Structure 1
Amino acid sequence: MASAPKTRPASSPKAYLIAYNVFSTLSWFYLLIVTLRHVLFSPSPSLHARAVTTYAAVGRVVAFVQTTAVLEVVHVLLGWVRSPLATTAMQVSSRIILVWAIAEQFKSAQVFPLYATMILSWSVTEVIRYAFYACSLLSIESKLLTYLRYTTFYVLYPTGAGSEAFVIFASVPSWGTWSLWAFIRFAMFVIWWPGLYVMYTYMMAQRRKVLGGAKVKAKKTQ
């Protein structure tokens, strides 16, 4: 969750960015509803049985929607938003690897139950994030969205990134049959945890900057 992008005043890029963020909000909201409906109400006999079939229900749509996020790197490169390029590229590329190089390629990842929690965490996070960006571009100040944007990560980062790590681990075969690609996937599982720590502390700093700033200003005026 990078900080809110600061857009340039050019009208055409701004209109496009509004459309992009509205589209992304609606896309992830759709995925949230479909995933919740599948996990909670599909006719499978148990929650576990419903969780392990989540990929079959939404996997391809998730891959398409997540792939559109590549445009966010393009937005930064074009100077349309001023989000950190390294952070944006890292977040987008990690998701692309998960949907195309892991979930799309390995049945063991597709039927892993934490795939469901990964998608639910992604969906809630992205609905809030893109709605926040769209409102910012439209000069609409929503205290609720701002609070959610800089608070829900406390839960959604561990559940999302933790699920990502174990989905990757689920794709790793038994020891003794490892290829170079299997070693790489295991290495990804290992480095996912310090990566989570880095992003988690980054968002904590952003939260203090955005939500803590108001408290500091209030104290100074007393």
Structure 2
Amino acid sequence: MPSKQATPRPSGPTGLTRGYLFTYNTANLLAWGTCLLYTASLVPNAVASKTLPSIFPTTFNPLLLATQSLALLEVLHSLVRLVRAPFITTAMQVASRLLVVWGILVPFGGEIVGARGTQVGDYAYLGCVAAWGVTEVIRYGFFAITLSGGNVPGWWTWLRYNTFYVLYPIGITSECTLIFKALGPAGELNPLFQYFLIAVLVIYVPGSYILYTHMIAQRRKVLRGKKRAD
């Protein structure tokens, strides 16, 4: 599920905290930008040569794996109140992605995506990279500009609070597809793991609704405040 980190307190972090958050967001912006652009650069040739499965082993480790794993720090940021992001929603969003990268793609990626995978898995993987990557480039760029003391362009703010309407369903559908395709390999590894993944798919329904409506509410709150300021 695409992840969201709320805007820093109105007064803004100061000193070392501000410097740390600026460095963290800038590093994530560069990491996600690299991952997204590099993956996108491989797609045209892979489609033309019918070698789409080659994208997964080329981009997953260390690019996507390392980049997505950095999101663990967002849970810590929320827990110690470095940012205003609600801890529960932050933990849910980060946990869903880490499940996909560490619980699905690390052990079963070669079976459901990549050289021995099917096109459904390959497209689901690309869907995750696209939805996560675009979301995070916009989000981390937004925070990096804010923490630098600059003014975020209006068009960037619009992207920040509107693109999730399209990207979130793409990300959720792709994540669920990868989890579903991993049910067979998970059952061969351990039946309990298969049951766990089935439970996760069931939880995704109400969980996705909660997170989606949370983002819609956040958007309304921010844009309402912006209109009052204007």
Q: TM-score, normalized by length of structure 2? A: 0.85
Answer whether contact 1:8 1:81 (CA < 8 A) is retained.
Answer: no
Report Cα offsets for 1:6-63 as digits up to 9, x if no partner: 37533111101101100100100001111111122337633xx41x333212111211
CA–CA separation in structure 1 for the residues paired with 2:175 and 2:166: 14
User: Does structure 1 residue 117 correspond to structure 2 residue 127?
Assistant: yes
* Alpha carbons 2:36, 2:133 under 8 Å: kept: yes
The offset of 1:69, in angstroms, is: 1.2
Q: In structure 2, which of residues 9, 19, 24 is the aligned counterpart of residue 20 of structure 1?
A: 24
3-state SS of paired residue (1:24): helix
1:198 maps to which residue?
210
- Percent pairwise identity: 38
- Which secondary structure state, in structure 2, belongs to the residue aligned with residue 82 of structure 1? coil
Which residue is equivalent to 1:30? 34
Residue in 1 aligned with 2:138? Answer: 128
Measured on the aligned residues, the alpha-carbon RMSD in Å equals 2.3
Which residue number in structure 1 is paired with residue 193 of structure 2? 181
Structure 1 SS opposite 2:184: coil
**Aligned partner of 2:147: which letter?**
L
Give the unaligned 5+ runs of structure 2: none
Distance in 1 (CA, whole Å) between partners of 2:92 and 2:112 is 21
8 Å Cα contact 1:2-1:87 kept in structure 2: no
Range that drifts further, 21-30 or 195-204: 195-204
Distance 2:6 2:82 in 1: 15
CA distance in 1, matches of 2:149, 2:194: 47
Instruction: Map 1:10-159; keep pairs closer than 5 Å.
Output: 10-42=14-46, 45-46=49-50, 49-50=51-52, 52-60=53-61, 61-106=63-108, 107-110=110-113, 111=117, 112-113=121-122, 114-142=124-152, 143-159=154-170
- Report the 3-state secondary structure (helix = DSSP H, G, I; strand = E; otherwise coil) of the residue aligned with 1:150: helix
User: 2-side partners of 1:216 and 1:15: how far apart?
Assistant: 30
Q: Which runs of 5+ in 1 are unaligned?
A: none
Aligned residues between the structures: 215
Write the letter of the residue equivalent to 1:117. Answer: G
Q: Deviation per CA, 1:179-210, whole angstroms, max 9, x where unpaired?
A: 01001112212221322221111111111111
**Structure 1 92/168 Cα, relative in aligned 2: closer, same or farther at 3 Å?**
same
Deviating runs (4+, > 4 A) in structure 1? 215-218
Bigger helix fraction: 2
Contact 1:32/1:124 (8 A) holds in 2: yes
- Code of the residue aligned with 2:55 in structure 1: it is T
**8 Å contact kept, 1:158–1:196:** no
Quickly say closer, same or farther: Cα 1:217–1:65, change in 2 above 3 A. Answer: closer
Higher alpha-carbon deviation: 161-170 or 76-85: 76-85
SS of alignment partner, residue 83 of structure 1: coil
In the TM superposition, what is the alpha-carbon distance from 1:86 to its structure 2 partner? 1.0
Question: 1:151-206, CA deviations, whole angstroms, 9 ceiling, x for partnerless residues?
Answer: 000100000111011111110118x8670100111221222132222111111111
Partner in structure 1 of residue 7 of structure 2: 4
Supply the AA of the counterpart residue of 2:168: Y
For the Cα contact (< 8 Å) 1:168–1:189, is it kept in 2?
Answer: yes
Helix, strand or coil at the partner of 1:3: coil
Q: Structure 2: which amino acid aligns with 1:118?
A: C
**Are 1:73 and 1:89, in contact at CA under 8 Å, matched by a contact in 2?**
yes
